[in-house]
Amino acid sequence: MDRIDLLKTFVVVVNEGSFTNAASKLDMSNQLVSKYINQLEKHLDARLFNRTTRKIHLTEAGYQCLQHANHILESVNDMEGQLGLLNSQVKGTLRISAPVSFSTLHLSDCIGQFQTQYPDVSINLQLNDRKVDVVEEGLDVALRAGVLSNSSLIAKKVTTIKLAVCASPQYLKKYGTPKHPRELRPAHYLEYAHVNYDNDKSELIQALRTNAQKHAPRLTANNGEVLADVAKHGEGYVLQPTFIVSKALQSGELVSILENYVPQSISLYAVYPHRKLVSSKLKVFIDFLCEFFDDTPHWDR
């Protein structure tokens, strides 16, 4: 039997003055009330009541137990009330990790609108393209793009991320437009450092992997925006998510190539530690993210 429940039963017996009245108050049998008190006395190795046929009286140990029990139960009630308030009210600080380019290009608007709707929520946003340890670094949630590995973390899909192979018009005019991945020039690849396509068997990825073994990429960087800007100047081709290159594609600064060979779309996930112990602030933030970006995000419409 839970010790808190034993203490609650003990306090009710004291307040009601008898086992019978306590049983009625607690909606249980006299025998069960007596059993709980016996269990508590056995656990404490002390007699709590002197019993007569008509009345019960607290022993000295019983008086001491009552003082401690009232204090313990009051603390438990305070804790439950405070935690319940935290979980029912949308307030507090959210610690978030998110990819750099996605955040600078698209997340700021989302966060601004979220905080307008929920002004009592503070955001601590950490931008990093590395895979952070959500639990170890004390984060509430991390946004991750790609195929997730198996873990104890919970993942909620936020939106779909399409990929595109791009080059500038001047680059294509100078070197021609490739019709097949094997026609790509290995030395002209502008490579994103953090990408991992080990499980991707598409012809394009196989070609990029084979080319990398033959010739080092012209540029490797851990920021996709920098790579896309270099590609705009005719210095090579990139494989980047459309949330980075969509504006350049719409303006004609970049041209999409090899569309039939582009790897399948990936997803952006909100990753967090617990399924059951989700605070209201985190729940409404994840729901807001999913609604804001939708499965087809605005940059692909």
Query: Is pLDDT at 141 greater than 70 in this prediction?
Result: yes
**Whole-number percent of the chain with pLDDT over 70:** 90
> Which of 46, 39, 56 shows the shortest CA–CA distance to 3?
39
Per-residue pLDDT at 243 = 95
- In the predicted model, what is the mean pLDDT of residues 14-33? 88
Instruction: Identify which of 215, 207, 251, 208 has the alpha carbon closest to the alpha carbon of residue 232.
Output: 251
Predicted confidence (pLDDT) at residue 44 exceeds the cutoff of 70:
yes
Full set of structural domains in the chain with CATH: 3-88 (1.10.10.10), 92-160+266-300 (3.40.190.10), 163-261 (3.40.190.10)
pLDDT above 70 (res 48): yes
pLDDT for residue 28: 86
Question: What is the 8-class DSSP label of residue 27?
Answer: T
Residues 6+ apart with CB under 8 A from 18: 55, 56
Compute the distance between CA of residue 191 and CA of residue 202 in angstroms, rounded to an integer.
Answer: 17
Q: What pLDDT, on a 0 to 100 scale, did the predictor assign at position 195?
A: 67
Which spans in the chain are helix H?
3-16, 19-26, 30-44, 60-88, 100-102, 108-117, 169-175, 203-214, 224-232, 242-251, 280-293
In 3-state terms, what secondary structure has residue 9?
Answer: helix
pLDDT of residue 151: 66
| Bridge partners, 238 (sequence order) | 166, 190
What is the pLDDT confidence band of residue 273, given thresholds at 50, 70 and 90?
A: confident
Identify the CA nearest to 152 among candidates 269, 289, 277, 275. 275
pLDDT score of 145 more than 90: no
pLDDT score of 22 more than 70? yes
Q: What is the pLDDT of residues 187-206, one digit of tens each?
A: 899 988 866 665 666 788 88
* pLDDT at res. 85: 52
Mean pLDDT of the residues in the chain: 87
Residue 96, strand partner residues: 125, 141
Confidence band, pLDDT 50/70/90 cuts, at residue 29: confident
- Enter the tokens of residue 43: 């656990």
